[in-house]
Structure 1
């Protein structure tokens, strides 16, 4: 906590308000045989049911039942192919711990207790009878730590016998031995007669696009980075590029060329009409044709004739 206080006093105060059994391995319970701070099981389950979350109740349950049914069969078939008594990941982790225990010297103290010297004044107490070590790694995870492995190498015993039974292949086969039986389709289901029919709920579709992912907490890491706040920021209108207005409040014509062309066209039109009014009045058809010819001749750009 003193190291955290040196980095940030606010973080240290925030941790003081939390229960240490939820975030500190020093206060974890040894009953669960796990030292993880993650919720990978919940995250994995939320991912596999992503397809079924927005379906109706029966359809959602049928999709989840089929996914769990195939998952149980797959895990059991994989567990039957394991060569050793332990699961492959636990066996690999145990071999890494054996390589880390080369520079550790245990001293026997009687009653299956050892004093393990790790050099530089660092010592730990190992109790093989209680399956415990003062570093708490063996107590939390159920896998012998490097201090315990050094004691077992002196005794020349098998390391797999001191690993908790939850990591053995036999336990995994027992877990996946209870399979889900297949079910007939909805058309073959028996109809219940002594019960009032349950009507489906009224579907109220909310506004916007339906969400596919769950809402994350404020302090949870996002893949796309933190969302920046737009408070006290002045936005610009995309068409004219100027701040202070939007599509609804904008009063004007977008683009300087269009404004100049329209103003010059209106000016030429006014001059043409005033000149025609002061001159002698020709017939109505000739007057309209002359007005159109004069107006086109004085425009700043040329137009192609339709004919």
Structure 2
């Protein structure tokens, strides 16, 4: 919170079936620590949590969901890596850019062999950089090393979007904050629900764009029919195997994202099928409709105490109470921050 009423806003947010923000739960606590995060973490489902590497989050997520379900935000990893580069001699700005590109290659490599090639390139460039990667738990952020399905979600930018979305409400006291947030949240959910009329078919507009991009890539691919449900696809450089029944491709993009990759699109179209039928159900109209089918109850305030112009608190029965001042807080060290610092890797 940024006003006189201090505290830490805890948020769990997710994506709906068309990749829009869907807040799940939030709460206000005294500070960001292990005990408060453990209390706020919700449910006992097999879900993937993406967050920064705050020790309180790491401990609580590990205890509730298991460390194997915790993916670290790549944006924060890259920022830490960039800070580490400043301590090394990386041959100026160009050297730093090359090192960051190598980190991208390591992170986004889907196959173990591609990961090892990227790591070898990094070692050749600077052994300390490769050592930094190895010591930074890549199993929590590199795609090929993370064993659970993360739907190609690499960052916690969704949380940053939520923080930005509430930037004007954060200076209010807790009660006013919740009231204003519920009104804002209600409008957002209604907007997303009404957006269902824009769905032309079983998948949403954003998913359609991704499929259209993959179809555009595969226009010149060559496909070879095999017995069963598997097909060989050539992109002009390599051969890959696509299995339409198992919904897999040897590039692993399909099974990692739930959306047919360009190789899968080539195979699906060769068979005369509709690519959208091979998109995972998590992106389908039926799920989006289910997400926004429930009712949201408002916060009733007819018995809420009111504050007179002179600051006196008056309840619904007319009883008066001394004005409640904000709690006394210590000024944090350093100069006050004028505005939220945006990441250079958003």
Question: TM-score range, shorter-chain basis?
Answer: 0.5 to 0.7
CA distance in 1, matches of 2:341, 2:193: 33
When structure 1 is superposed on structure 2, of 95-104 and 155-164 the one drifting more is 95-104
Residues 7-40 of structure 1: CA distance to partner in whole angstroms, max 9, x if unpaired? 33322111101222332221234534x1132212
**Residue equivalent to 2:278:** 162
More strand by share: 2
Structure 2 residue aligned with 1:24, among 142, 158, 168? Answer: 142
CA contact (8 A) 2:182 2:298 kept: no
Give 1:161 deviation, angstroms: 0.6
1:12 aligns with 2:135: no
Alignment of 1:113-262 (within 5 A): 113-120=230-237, 122-187=238-303, 203-207=327-331, 211=337, 221=344
CA contact (8 A) 1:132 1:139 kept: yes
Report which structure shows greater RCO (CA 8 Å, sep ≥6): 2
CA contact (8 A) 1:69 1:179 kept: no
Give 1:201 deviation, angstroms: 8.5
Give 1:210 deviation, angstroms: 6.1
When structure 1 is superposed on structure 2, of 123-132 and 6-15 the one drifting more is 6-15
**Residue equivalent to 2:218:** 101
Q: What is the TM-score when the length of structure 1 is the normalising length?
A: 0.60
Q: Which structure 2 segments of 5+ residues have no match?
A: 1-118, 306-314, 316-320
Residues 169-194 of structure 1: CA distance to partner in whole angstroms, max 9, x if unpaired? 332222122232233325458x9xxx
Give 1:54 deviation, angstroms: 3.1
Give 1:110 deviation, angstroms: 2.0
What secondary structure, in the 3-state scheme, does the structure 2 residue paired with 1:116 have? strand
Task: State the number of aligned residues.
Answer: 213
**Residue equivalent to 2:166:** 49
CA distance in 2, matches of 1:207, 1:6: 47
CA gap of 1:19–1:201, structure 2 versus 1, over 3 A, is farther
What secondary structure, in the 3-state scheme, does the structure 2 residue paired with 1:80 have? helix
Q: Which structure 1 segments of 5+ residues have no match?
A: 192-196, 224-307
CA gap of 1:181–1:212, structure 2 versus 1, over 3 A, is farther
**Residue equivalent to 1:259:** none
What secondary structure, in the 3-state scheme, does the structure 2 residue paired with 1:26 have? coil
What secondary structure, in the 3-state scheme, does the structure 2 residue paired with 1:110 have? coil
**Residue equivalent to 2:105:** none
CA gap of 1:179–1:70, structure 2 versus 1, over 3 A, is farther
CA gap of 1:200–1:166, structure 2 versus 1, over 3 A, is farther
CA distance in 2, matches of 1:119, 1:162: 24
CA distance in 2, matches of 1:135, 1:178: 38
What secondary structure, in the 3-state scheme, does the structure 1 residue paired with 2:167 have? coil
CA gap of 1:212–1:52, structure 2 versus 1, over 3 A, is farther
CA distance in 1, matches of 2:297, 2:338: 30
Larger gyration radius, structure 1 or structure 2: 1
